[in-house]
Amino acid sequence: MTQPGKPVVTITYCTGCNWLLRAGWMAQELLQTFQGALGGVTLVPGDLGGIFEIHVDQELVWERKRDGGFPDVKELKTRVRDRIDPDQDLGHLDRPAP
């Protein structure tokens, strides 16, 4: 059950590639960072083709083949934040590397 009026993240992952744990870890990271801002995170098993896609509502924010692999946590959180609350501070992730 999702929370009405809040964005929902959907992570579709390839079951043949055994990417469930990766998808689950990314879901956990998003839920921890955006606790009150998300209506939910849904994991969707995909069957073929090495699929790994992340949508915020219906908008594709990451696609493994298009974007060249998997997002690191900073890039993922930044892309999600930019769609749900561009003014949210991501703490140390927003600070430039030394």
pLDDT above 70 coverage of the chain, percent: 90
User: Which pLDDT belongs to residue 77?
Assistant: 95
Is the domain spanning 8-85 CATH 3.30.70.141? The answer is no
Spans of the chain, pLDDT less than 70: 1-2, 92-98
Of 51, 50, 59, 54, nearest in space to 41 by CA: 54
User: Which pLDDT belongs to residue 32?
Assistant: 95
User: Which pLDDT belongs to residue 2?
Assistant: 63
pTM reported for the whole predicted model = 0.88
Contacts of 9 (CB under 8 A, 6+ apart): 27, 30, 38, 40, 41, 42, 54, 55, 56, 80
State both tokens at 1. 């059950």
User: Which pLDDT belongs to residue 25?
Assistant: 98
Residue with tokens 């744990």: 21
Domain ranges of the chain: 8-85
User: Which pLDDT belongs to residue 95?
Assistant: 61
